[in-house]
Amino acid sequence: MCDDVRFEAGNRFSLMGVFHSLAASQLPLAMLKFAVITYWHGQGTANTEVRILSPDRSQIIMASQAAPIDLSAEGFTYNLNFFINVIFQEEGTYWVQTLLDSEVVGEVALPVIVARQDSY
């Protein structure tokens, strides 16, 4: 997960603002851009998706469109998903899920916290 991805010469890319949690001074927290990169290897054809779930898993905050992958033997690819204007309404652990043919195959916790100022 990161803020953005920059494409480089030679079919390479650079990840900008890689994170594993988000801290905000207040909520709701709005992220103008949110990127999720997944790596796939093996062989076969499938559809991949990424979705962001609320802390209680009852709501899908954002979801990507299904993207097809077609891997030849020992093949690999990266799938880049960009989300625009993601709003985190409450503090808690959100869930970023990766799906393959509509089945969850990976899940990463994304804690969202309010960074409180200590008063002295």
pLDDT digit string, tens, across residues 17-72:
999 999 999 999 999 999 999 999 999 999 999 999 999 999 999 999 999 999 99
Peptide bond into 55 cis (omega under 30): no
Q: State how far the alpha carbon of 83 is from the alpha carbons of 26, 44, 76, 115, 119, in Å.
A: 21, 27, 23, 24, 36
Return all residues near 107 (Cβ < 8 A) that are at least 6 apart: 95, 96, 97, 98
d(CA 71, CA 80): 16
**What confidence category does residue 10 fall into, taking pLDDT thresholds of 50, 70 and 90?**
confident
Position 104 in a domain? yes
**Domain around 94:** 4-114
Can you give the CATH number for the domain in which 32 is found?
Answer: 2.60.40.1930
Provide the mean pLDDT of the chain. Answer: 93
Count of structural domains within the chain: 1
